[in-house]
Structure 1
Amino acid sequence: MSSDAGKIMVGANSAYDMYVANAIKDIQSSAKKVKDGIKDAADTIFSLQEAAKIIGIIASLVDIAAVIASSIQDWDNLGKLPELVRNLNKQIKAAKKPDVGQGGI
Structure 2
Amino acid sequence: MIQDLIERKLQAEFNPIHLEVQNESYMHNVPPGSESHFKVIVVSEQFDGKRLIARHRSINAILSDELENHIHALSIHAYTELEWQEANGVAPASPKCAGGGK
- TM-score tier (shorter): under 0.3
Higher strand fraction: Structure 1 or Structure 2?
2
Of structures 1 and 2, the one with the larger relative CO (CA 8 A, separation 6+) is 2
So what's the TM-score if we normalise by structure 2? 0.21
Specify the structure having the higher radius of gyration (Cα).
1
So what's the TM-score if we normalise by structure 1? 0.20
